[in-house]
Amino acid sequence: MLIAGAGPAGLAAAVALARHGVPTLLVERRRTLSGLPRATVLSTGSMELLRAWGLEAEILAGAADVEWVGWESATLAAAADGSPFPVGLPTREQSAAVSPTAPACVPQDHLEPVLLRHLRTFPAASVELGVELIGVQQAADGVRATVRDAGTGRTRTLRARHLIAADGAHSRARAALGIAMRGPELPEHAVTALFHAPLWDVLGTRRHGIYSVTRPVPGGTFLPAGPGDRWLYGMRWDPATERLEDYTPDRLATLIRLGAGVEELRVRITRVGAFSFAAQLADTFRRGDVFLAGDAAHRVTPRGGTGLNTALRDGADLGWKLAWVLRGWAPPALLDSYEAERRPVAEHNVARSADPNGSVREVAEELHADLGGRVPHAWLPSPAGRVSTLDLLGPGLTLFTGPEAAAWEAAAVAVSAGPPLAVRRLAVMTARALGLRGAGALLARPDGAPAGWWPHGAADPAAALCGAIGAAVGGREHGVAAAAGRRAA
């Protein structure tokens, strides 16, 4: 397996494949990962994924301690006279009702190294930094990819069964395959400054993930970029009438002081940059054995903070599905579900980001798009302490049952093919949280998506289970053999 691009999509895909033992090579044109915070939002669903990979604590070590509610005021110093606005992410209290974790304020330059370190713990994974994908050709047995070493300029051809093109908004792979991007380059531009300043001393207990200030006119945005006094400041600018060079560190420090409302604020600017807004979607996420993921498949504006999260979940979704096919657990038809399931999410997020008011959304409008209809979260006891029903999901399929589980356990033993199948017998009240009564059962994929639900049981559990597994893996028929042992989960 070959992956181009070590951003969130590429790293997530590589981790998902490596966790299944699939030999994977990840190439990245940069010699080191970016040291810029860029995106700062990890959604509920993204944190659930990172928790499932055992990375929750390491990720939160680089998080700012904030509440995911926006705050608007004239200046940061006048925050007491400001007002909150919803950003589509649940608060900690709301999260506790639906998830074992919560959205986090984590800069991208903390997330990516955590993922890379985790990836390198797997023997199946190889990583080559400073190696750029420059050409792609389809072949009868997979893909021929031409890569170039950034240091020596030497080129070579790599052969792979599949290529995941997570090589960014200006994807070489997408261009080589002739896949067009549709949607507008929006007439909006922003200049940003990465800086250090003691703004938490100004804000006190009002700790939020995003601050919108109205001064100086036309206003700007402050974003915490990790723990401590590291921040991002952004504001609109017009490249038709201004030059980026005009936004010197001294000028931006003055604007930051005005937006903070503290004339003598100590500001240390470490970088100034600019970007344009785009809301675009690729015509297709797949061409033959090449799959597009992340910004190569869709571009969003910063509004809504969905770009990193969509990319991360693209990679994870594609990774486990490719792993199932390559390990013989599912037929190639399973791969058709990648675009079928990810495109609606991307369409939703692209449309939201194109809305001038896209940063403001009620939680009820956005949580469904983030969680994607996965099985409900409920706490249950375990020898290691309480765990969530989501913590019980494994790399294969998981069959949740209530106390009346004997018929389903026998049916699981009789399944003779397909991915590993683990049976999780739940107490009565936990089973009810999943909509199960009596001899009911729920079959879930590794991403938590339901693959079969029998709320009160089934007349023939073995036949019901085999049919649901067949549908979950892309339509392959599954056999039943009473003497066949279930695969180890």
Per-residue pLDDT tens digits for 105-163? 999 999 999 999 999 999 999 999 999 999 999 999 999 999 999 999 999 999 999 99
pLDDT in tens, 12-69: 999 999 999 999 999 999 999 999 999 999 999 999 999 999 999 999 999 999 999 9
Strand partners, 43: none
pTM of the model: 0.95
- How many residues would you count in the chain? 489
CATH topology for 2-38+107-183+279-371?
FAD/NAD(P)-binding domain (3.50.50)
Kindly tell me if the per-residue pLDDT of 482 is higher than 50: no
Average pLDDT over residues 429-455: 97
> Largest Cα–Cα distance of the chain, in whole Å?
78
Lowest mean pLDDT of 180-184, 391-395, 480-484, name the range: 480-484
List Cα–Cα distances, 124 to 24, 121, 290, 389, in angstroms: 6, 9, 20, 29
Average pLDDT over residues 384-394: 95
How many C-alpha atoms does 246 have within 13 Å on its Cβ side? 7
CATH topology for 185-277?
D-Amino Acid Oxidase; Chain A, domain 2 (3.30.9)
Give the pLDDT band (50/70/90) at residue 79.
very high
Q: Which pair of structure tokens corresponds to residue 213?
A: 């200030």
Domain boundaries, the chain: 2-38+107-183+279-371, 185-277, 379-472
How do strand 181-182 and strand 286-287 relate by DSSP bridges? Answer: unpaired
CATH no. for 379-472: 3.40.30.120
Give the pLDDT band (50/70/90) at residue 475.
low
Q: Phi then psi for 96, rounded to 5 degrees?
A: -60, -25
Omega within 30 of 0 (cis) for the link into 218? yes
